[in-house]
Amino acid sequence: MGEGAIRVSLRRGAPGGVEPAGDDALVVEEPLEIRLDGRPLAVLMRTPGRDLDLVAGFLATEGVIDGLDDLAGLAPCADPARPNAQNVVLATLASGVRAAPARFERARREMFAASSCGLCGKASIDRVFQHAPPLEAPFVLEPAFVCALPGRLRATQRLFDATGGLHGAALFTREGALIEAAEDVGRHNAVDKVIGARLRADAFPLDDHALVVSSRAGFEVVQKALVARVGAVVAVGAASSLADQLARAAGLSLYSFVRGDRFNFHG
């Protein structure tokens, strides 16, 4: 089935009891360790595949790098003696960036703070604005275009068809061209994969693009879109209160609960 899914034997329950049901497909979830200049930076739980895109997008949306020029190297671990080397990616910063160790420490500190308690909404938004200022102009989409985007994303989700267990993300131009799509067990990872693919293609930042996600629109999805300078986020699910606050403060068009010919517009 490829590296993103496996087949396992299952039993299914019903009012009459539990019976063998044969094989079923499950999405693969494994840890990915990111090492930056030889030091451990983060561990992500992800669906294997497109790991380099994932790491490039993660480094960009977390503020470790500003663009492709900040990276001197990005490669899977090739050390045969290292356990689980297939789950390690090695990133090397360009010399000028490496000379500023504050970037590494800032990234570690901000990632810790994002997963801890005690930050209010204003503090979280102010921290995002330190390296991703508000957008200069609104990016408003036609209602019919908004309503068509979830179906176009869904058509790209091959592994979801097999497993029912992945999130999807896609980038579209203002004219409606599909530029990039990705799937992952983590919704943030799917976003980072599509952003990272464009960064590695030296097509970053992503002005005049819309990001479509099959999940809810949480704060981190909107944050990643803003860092990449994406002007609009379209989500199949609901938006959180902090995502709404960030989108309004940043001038980013946020569309949530896009179902059929209806949606919520946060703006």
pLDDT, position 120: 62
**Which of 254 and 165 is assigned the larger pLDDT?**
254
Place 110 in a pLDDT band, splitting at 50, 70 and 90: low
Question: Could you tell me if 159 and 166 are in contact, meaning their C-beta atoms sit under 8 angstroms apart?
Answer: yes
**pLDDT averaged over every residue in the chain:** 90
Q: Which residue matches tokens 């985007």?
A: 149
Q: Is 219 left (phi over 0), alpha (psi -120 to 50) or beta?
A: alpha
Peptide bond into 205 cis (omega under 30): yes
Residues annotated as catalytic (active site), given as ranges: 117
Q: Which CATH architecture has domain 30-129?
A: Roll (3.10)
Tens digits of residue pLDDT in 192-215 = 999 999 999 999 999 999 999 999
Is residue 113 predicted with pLDDT exceeding 60? no
What's the whole-model pTM score? 0.91
Is residue 109 predicted with pLDDT exceeding 70? no
Element at 209 (helix H, strand E): strand 209-213
Q: Please state which CATH class domain 143-266 belongs to.
A: alpha beta
Looking at residues 253-258, what average pLDDT do you find? 98
d(CA 112, CA 127): 13
Spatial CB neighbours of 101, under 8 Å, sequence gap ≥ 6: none
13, β-bridge pairs: 18
Token reading at 194: 């599509």
pLDDT, position 21: 77
Domain boundary assignment for the chain: 30-129, 143-266
Cα radius of gyration (the chain): 19
d(CA 148, CA 167): 18
Question: Could you tell me if 53 and 61 are in contact, meaning their C-beta atoms sit under 8 angstroms apart?
Answer: no
Place 98 in a pLDDT band, splitting at 50, 70 and 90: low
Place 264 in a pLDDT band, splitting at 50, 70 and 90: very high
Task: Give me the amino acid identity at 249.
Answer: A
pLDDT, position 82: 84
